[in-house]
Structure 1
Amino acid sequence: MKKLSTSSRILLLLAVFTLIPAYFTPLWQISLWAPQYPEGLNMKIWIDHLSGNVDQINGVNHYIGMKHIGVEMFPEFIYLKYVIGAMIGLGLVFFLIGKKWSLYSFLSLLTLFGIAILVDMYRWGYEYGHELDPKAAIKVEGMSYQPPLIGYKQLLNFLAYSGPDTGSWILMGGVGLLMLALFLDWKGKGAPKHT
């Protein structure tokens, strides 16, 4: 199997390093704006906890029957740090192997991880927005309050936004580095010398 060029291997290693900030930066954010909250309410989702205006968001959502947002809603917090740790370990193994298939494998791994996160966020948002308390103070017939997966959505008098935060943008940069490595390898730049 063909060896990777030196430049492609370096880009692979840099892509592995882009997983490390996931431990120290928020991965996702959800924000709400309304006339009574012109400055907005913001919740950040990290690898193992939540931060931001979680209590205020819970207070507002209580009136329309939405579940209380808490760490217990995210079983992913228990194992996500280990999943990312395993991906870093595999990435380093792929870097040491230095074959073309190892680059494709790591790109596939990151891509599948990203898709799994999006599917999981959609599932959480769907359940959170549709499973409402029938005894809620405010009920609007046929209305659900599922936040957008990515982008903006009007929910009653609130404008909701959901999207990647710092850690996810860095991870996407890692995928970009891998795409660049594939391109360089395809173009044959920096091909290894045969001994």
Structure 2
Amino acid sequence: MKKAGIIMIIGSLLLLGLFKFPLWNIMLGAPQYPEPMGMDIYITGIQGVQEFDIQNIDGLNHYIGMKTIPKPEEMWEFNVFPIVIGGMAALGVIIGILGFLGKVNAWWFLGWLVFMSVLGVLGMYDFNAWLTDYGTNLDPNAIMKMTNPDGSPMSYKPPLFGHQKMLNFDVDSYPAVGAYLMFAGMSLTLIAFFIGKKEWKPKYVK
């Protein structure tokens, strides 16, 4: 399974792109802001797209009672995610090497992919839960209290994926470069599985 093992190794290493590139991006645009403000979400923390974006977003959020954007030390995820991604990349490389040497079969590749997919779903669930808390758990003493037509408090939860209109702001939330690298890496491991199934030659004990 030499070819499959090499593809598995390359796919696993692509996860390391998450240490360099953002996983997700959220942009806010409004008529009074010629240049949209944005947040790049990395596995190690949140940064502004432009130098003062985080400061400006926090300033706006203060008026409606939203929390400030958390620093890395304020969210356990930013400590755990790098360990998980680094561990999965290392595990994938080890499985790929063992496959290259013919020590494991292609089902190990699929097992890694399923495990990584489960972790990805859990990560997205956690991200959505944070967005929900961020946009709905508002300070009751905020300067501005916006309500829906039925009188209930308005939610400022950004969309997990896609576009949403919030007051006079257009909010866009989409995967960034790191997410595409991760998807490409996982796709390669799936390809490695199918190639490995064809390459695998079990050794029978006579």
Aligned to 2:178: 167
Describe the SS at the equivalent of 2:133.
helix
% identity of equivalent residues: 35
Aligned to 2:11: 15
Aligned to 1:119: 125
Superposition deviation, residue 67 in structure 1: 0.5
Aligned to 2:57: 57
2:191, 2:107 → 1: CA distance? 15
User: Could you tell me which amino acid in structure 2 is paired with residue 159 of structure 1?
Assistant: D
1:94, 1:164 → 2: CA distance? 28
Written as runs of structure 1 = structure 2, the 5 A alignment for 1:1-195 is 5-52=1-48, 53-71=53-71, 72-98=73-99, 99-141=105-147, 142=152, 143-186=154-197, 188=198, 190=199
1:24, 1:193 → 2: CA distance? 40
Residue correspondences, number: 189
User: Could you tell me which amino acid in structure 2 is paired with residue 55 of structure 1?
Assistant: Q
Decide which moves more: 120-129 or 82-91: 82-91
TM-score, structure 2 normalization: 0.84
TM-score, structure 1 normalization: 0.89
Describe the SS at the equivalent of 1:55.
helix
Closer, same or farther in 2 for the Cα pair 1:162/1:74, shift >3 Å? farther
Root-mean-square deviation over aligned CA pairs = 1.9
In structure 2, runs of 5+ residues without a counterpart are: 100-104
1:180, 1:192 → 2: CA distance? 18
